[in-house]
Amino acid sequence: MNTNHLSAWEQEEYVLDQRTPQMLRHLTECAQCRAAVAQLEHGVGVYRQAAVEWSAQSLATRPQPFVTARRQPAISLGWAMAAMIPVVLLLIALLPFHLSTPRPPQPAAQISDDALLDQVDEQLSVAVPSSMESLTHLVSTGSGAAAKGSKHIVQNN
């Protein structure tokens, strides 16, 4: 009798059809290893049978999907239309702002700087509030050596 029995690894290789001539020779000579391999094959067979039965039972009892292939596009089309309504309304509301493009600024009349300053001065001097009229004597409009249209501010202490 051989004292070198097949290891658990070699027994698994035998069951998985990865057999070597040494394994086959040993199994023909050793009843203990034949019994261990037979027990392993039986356990794998029982496991395989249980897995097949469980799979068949699971397939038979699984809930079937609710098929609404024809109705689903209609529902999604309705939701798409409902989502588009606010977008269309927003575009319609903003359309007048887009169509009324701002007019390009008109070129200002070609007037000299002095004339423009005189015009501004006239507008400002006319619009002096009555409460500030008493301060207008502080501003002198003498034209001595100053340039035409410029005004001197004189303050008397």
33-58 per-position pLDDT tens digit: 999 999 999 999 999 999 999 999 88
145 in a structural domain: no
Specify if 97 maps to a domain: no
Whether 102 has a pLDDT exceeding 80, the answer reads: no
Neighbours of 118 (CB within 10 A): 16
- Whole-structure pTM value: 0.37
- Residue 72, in any domain of the structure: no
What is the rounded CA–CA span in Å between residue 36 and residue 8? Answer: 9
- The domain in which residue 32 lies consists of 8-59
Residue 106 lies in a domain: no
Number of domains in the chain: 1
152: β partners: 140
Residue 33 lies in a domain: yes
pLDDT at 147: 45
pLDDT at 88 over 50: yes
Nearest Cα to Cα of residue 121 among 99, 152, 156: 152
Residue 42 forms part of a structural domain: yes
- Cα(114)–Cα(112) distance, integer angstroms: 5
What number of H helices and E strands is found in the chain?
5, 2
In this structure, what are the phi and psi dihedrals at residue 140, rounded to the nearest 5 degrees? -105, 140
Residue 35 forms part of a structural domain: yes
> What's residue 95's pLDDT?
76
